Amino acid sequence: MFNLNAKNVVKVYGNKAILDGISINIREGDKIALVGENGVGKTTLLRILAGEDDNIEGSIIVDGYMPRVYAAQEFSDNPEKTASSFLGNEKVQRSALRFFKELDISQRILGMKMGVLSGGQKKILQLIKA
């Protein structure tokens, strides 16, 4: 069983607190939604919970194992890189082929450069990689 418990998380940029005393408990199977205006810290909180930002006050306690991944809103990879090289190892590429088949996406996407892919195609690749 997986459990993630964040207590009194504070994240400061410069002299501005983006998150101030956030506490949340997420258990395996929970579904959560973060709703709020731009700039209130939703993405920052997700990055912290995924373990991508540990420059915080407060605590994050993880019991059990479940991969914690975060697929960024903005895509900032090399536009000349192929989708295949973005995904990396062969195991991930095999997984991608299974997803492509289920989603009726041509496997030719693997040979295409990231710079010519649509935003939706890039997001699918990010999620597969994650």
Helix (H, G, I), strand (E, B) or coil at 129: helix
User: Tens digit of pLDDT for each residue in 110-130?
Assistant: 899 999 998 888 888 888 887
Task: Report the CATH number that the domain containing residue 22 is assigned in CATH.
Answer: 3.40.50.300
For residue 122, is it within any domain? yes
* Residue that is written with structure tokens 């407060």 in the block: 58
- How many separate domains does the chain show? 2
Average pLDDT, the chain: 86
**Sorting pLDDT into bands at 50, 70 and 90, what band is 6?**
very high
Residue 24 has pLDDT above 90, yes or no: yes
For residue 92, is it within any domain? yes
Q: 56: closest CA among 4, 26, 21, 5?
A: 21
Residue 74 has pLDDT above 80, yes or no: no
Structural domain range at position 45: 3-63
φ/ψ (deg, to 5) at 47: -65, -40
Six-digit token pair at 68?
A: 């914690």
Q: What pLDDT does 43 receive?
A: 87
Q: What is the pTM of this model?
A: 0.63
Q: What pLDDT does 106 receive?
A: 84
Asked whether residue 88 falls in the same domain as residue 55, the answer is no
* Domain final residue, candidates 13, 29, 63: 63
